Amino acid sequence: MTRPTSTRLADGRELIYFDDAGSGRRAHTVVDHRPLDPRSDAGTGELRFDALTGDWVAVAAHRQTRTHLPPAEACPLCPTSGTNLSEIPEADYDVVVFENRFPSLGPALGPAPVGPAPGDPGWGTAGRAFGRCEVVAFTPEHTGSFAALSAGRARTVIDAWAHRTAALGALPGIRQVFPFENRGQEIGVTLHHPHGQIYAYSYLPPRSAVMARAARAFHDAHDGARTLAGHILAGESESGERMVLQGEHFSAYVPFAAHMPLEVHLVPHRHVPDLAALHDAERDELAHLYLELLRKVDNLYDTPTPYIAAWHQAPLDAANRAAGRLHLQLTSPRRAADKLKFLAGSEAAMGAFINDTRPEQVAARLREVPAAPKADNLEVSHP
């Protein structure tokens, strides 16, 4: 397990350094001297209840002023230099996690607002958007991608995800912890520097709630002896038609009913609820298989592929946790070298997805494409 070192930024936000195994780094002692006003819980946004759908919507208007695609010399995720006082005080680092300066949720913590009573549509129901949002910087290098990391660095990131999953899940009011990466301007990223995020929700997000209900129904129907994710994985393994990668502890496949033109699920063979529950051998293999999968996705075309890497973890309540299994959902809107799928009428308005590609053909292409990192996408990382 990677050793974390926690400190505080000038405004009071937490920052945690995660050093690569065997890096021999000295203690992280540099202080953030930026003239920042102390952060206040009063800046926490609002949760509003959508009476038509039953969803909670976070209203975070303060995010309108967040940093947007700054030049390299002003990047907030690069190490601090004489000309750039960034979010990371040290002159070098391996992996860093810190509280987002412009959070969608939090920084105040507590339970989500109480939903409407039966028979009450709930129109006008609102409360504070409790939770926590963190940024994960994968590397000190401004250019590159996760796919260009070394296996050792990827393992450090996995350890950081696992550490934060456990720590955030223990905070008051948190019901779901969600690590993810948005990669590419086509997805809507606001920083070029290779990074991801972690959201800790005080409510169960709609997608998690839908998956939790399906997983719990299957689990209960089999008296707790089987899980839905395990059943699907067994079917995909037996078929083989949509399998992309198979290891000792993890397998990756294009789902039978893929929503997006490019979609792959990476699933552990053992039933584990989240990243924190993975043992060392599983984390070691995950570092290699995840890199292999990302490199295959990047090598489908001549230019880097935009994607969303969503790490679905079991909700924290006991009823859903027993049935839910960790899995990665990697999706991209890219349906051809020069074409993107946009979520328009049917998808955005109705939630009815129409896939432009056949999952079996996508899986066959991914199996054939090499997993070598792109020469123009390499970056330096500590061994």
Annotated active-site positions, please?
195
Beta-strand (E) ranges in the chain?
Answer: 4-8, 14-18, 46-50, 55-59, 95-99, 126-128, 131-137, 176-183, 195-201, 243-246, 250-253, 262-268, 307-312, 327-332, 334-336, 339-340
11 backbone dihedrals φ, ψ, rounded to 5°: -95, 5
CA angle 372, 286, 138 (to 5 degrees): 75
**59, β-bridge pairs:** 46
Between the alpha carbon of residue 311 and those of residues 268, 272, 275, the distances in Å are: 12, 13, 9
Q: Give the separation between CA 291 and CA 298, rounded to whole angstroms.
A: 10
How many other C-beta atoms are found inside a 10 Å radius of the C-beta of residue 54?
Answer: 13
Alpha carbon distance, N-terminus to C-terminus of the chain: 16
Running DSSP on this structure, what letter comes out for residue 347? I
Between the alpha carbon of residue 183 and those of residues 135, 144, 327, the distances in Å are: 14, 11, 19
Question: What is the per-residue DSSP string for 40-97?
Answer: -GGG--EEEEETTTTEEEEE-GGGGGS--S--GGG-TTSBP-SS---SB-SS--SEEE
Place of tokens 């328009």: 344
Would you state the torsion angle of the CA atoms of residues 318, 321, 323, 324, taken in this order, to the nearest 10 degrees? 160
Between the alpha carbon of residue 380 and those of residues 16, 84, 288, the distances in Å are: 21, 20, 17
**95, β-bridge pairs:** 18
The amino acid occupying position 304 is: P
- H/E segment holding residue 168: helix 151-169
